[in-house]
Amino acid sequence: MESLLRVEDLRLHFRTAAGLVRAVDGVHLEVARARTVAVLGESGCGKTSLARALLRLLPRNVAHYSGRVVLDGLDLLELPEEVFRQQVRWVRLSLVPQAAMNALNPVLRVGEQVAEPLWLHGRVRRPQEARGEVEAALRRVGLPADFADRYPFELSGGMRQRVAIAMALVLRPQLVVLDEPTSALDVLTQANLMNLLKTLRWELGISFLLITHDVATASELADDVALMYAGQIVEFGRAHRFLRQPLHPYGQALRASVVSFREERTPQPLPGQPPSLVNPPPGCRFADRCPARFEPCHRTPPLVPVEGHGRVMCWLYAQEASRVG
């Protein structure tokens, strides 16, 4: 399958008073055209830093930023900042930030904010000229066109989230990063929004990178799942396989912790805590919490390819592979 985005050995480290934080530490992943990859992991595993690294929205305390990010043939880390701003950010790759409904400017009308990317990227000379496109963008996310004249406080949380999605789509990017798009919303609003994202994906042929901590949310949209733990992707593969039977012991534990009212099984808590990203343990970072830990786990596990699925970073499968081979 042709990949739209290819990320190789991406690293983003921050300098803090506590030491070097390895938020993104050697991430590999691919997003194919018109497919959705869910980045799944607990808080503090580096999911949001990964989004920032892709969009080059970096804070000042970056200590180390390296790797290769290729989007549609363009090597993003090589581009000068101004070229990246003009040709990539929001044009090919946009972001719906976490708690986006609170990210809108309270003193500007919704329409003015949706028009801003069009104006900044020179599609219109003045924001006022973008009216037609703004109305189309709002209708695309299921909002009435006259909402352009409203202020954010006049909208509910779900509607504001739709506005944030409209802003991310207004320049028709190929890939949209959705950072926890539904986590602060009500159940019915979440379901409505997921319906919207599914339809947008079918209609526009767009790719999503969905960042979430919730396995059930991931299942709503994902074609592929990238399981993230302590700054690394420890399993990457087809969603239908991952959601039924994850390979990595962390994926299995996370799956078992899911609470569902339809399943008889009692959910199992995941004991322990993720390691600090300041001084991650050597070897496998999940080893301390892993029920299947064995002798080689103190060394860094290899990325083992798995037929018909993807790859997993775990010695269990490396052993099997070598025994079979």
Partner 1 sequence: MSGEPLLVVRDLATWYELRRFGFLHQGWVRATDGVSLQVQEGEAVAVVGESGCGKSTLAKTLLGLVRPRRGDLWFEGRQIRTEDDWRWYRRRVGYVQQDPYAALPPFMTVRRVLEEPLVVNGVRSARERRARVVEALEAVQLVPPEEFLTRFPHMLSGGQQQRLVVARATLLNPRLLVADEPVSMLDASVRVEVLQLLRSFQQARRLSVVYITHDLSTVRHFCERVLVMYAGKVVEQAPVADLLREPRHPYTQALLAAIPDVDPNNARRVRAVPPGEPPSLVRPPGGCRFHPRCPVAISGVCERNPPPDFEVAPGHVAACWLYQAARRAVAGVTPQGGSLP
- Report the interface residues with partner 1, using CB under 8 A: 36, 42-43, 156-158, 186-192, 194-195, 198-199, 213-217, 219-223, 239-240, 243-244, 253-255, 257-263, 266-270, 273
Instruction: Compute the least distance from the CB of residue 254 to partner 1, in Å.
Output: 6
Question: What are the counts of helices (DSSP H) followed by strands (DSSP E) for the chain?
Answer: 10, 12
Q: Which of 134, 131, 185 is nearest to 157 (CA)?
A: 185
Tell me how far apart the terminal alpha carbons of the chain are, to the nearest angstrom.
Answer: 26
| Pick 23 or 115: Cβ nearer partner 1 | 23
Please state, in angstroms and rounded to a whole number, the distance separating the CA atoms of residues 62 and 253.
32
Instruction: Compute the least distance from the CB of residue 223 to partner 1, in Å.
Output: 7
Instruction: Compute the least distance from the CB of residue 75 to partner 1, in Å.
Output: 30
| Pick 159 or 303: Cβ nearer partner 1 | 159
Instruction: Compute the least distance from the CB of residue 56 to partner 1, in Å.
Output: 28
Instruction: Compute the least distance from the CB of residue 170 to partner 1, in Å.
Output: 24
Which residues, 6+ apart, have CB-to-CB distance to 52 below 8 Å? 12, 58, 59
Give SS3 for 316.
helix
| Pick 3 or 219: Cβ nearer partner 1 | 219
| Pick 50 or 221: Cβ nearer partner 1 | 221
| Pick 115 or 215: Cβ nearer partner 1 | 215
**Helical H runs in the chain?**
47-55, 81-87, 110-120, 131-140, 157-169, 187-204, 215-221, 239-244, 249-256, 315-324
Please state, in angstroms and rounded to a whole number, the distance separating the CA atoms of residues 53 and 69.
9
Q: Which of 46, 49, 63, 7 is nearest to 30 (CA)?
A: 7
| Pick 148 or 155: Cβ nearer partner 1 | 155
Instruction: Compute the least distance from the CB of residue 76 to partner 1, in Å.
Output: 27
CA atoms within 13 A on the CB side of 260: 12
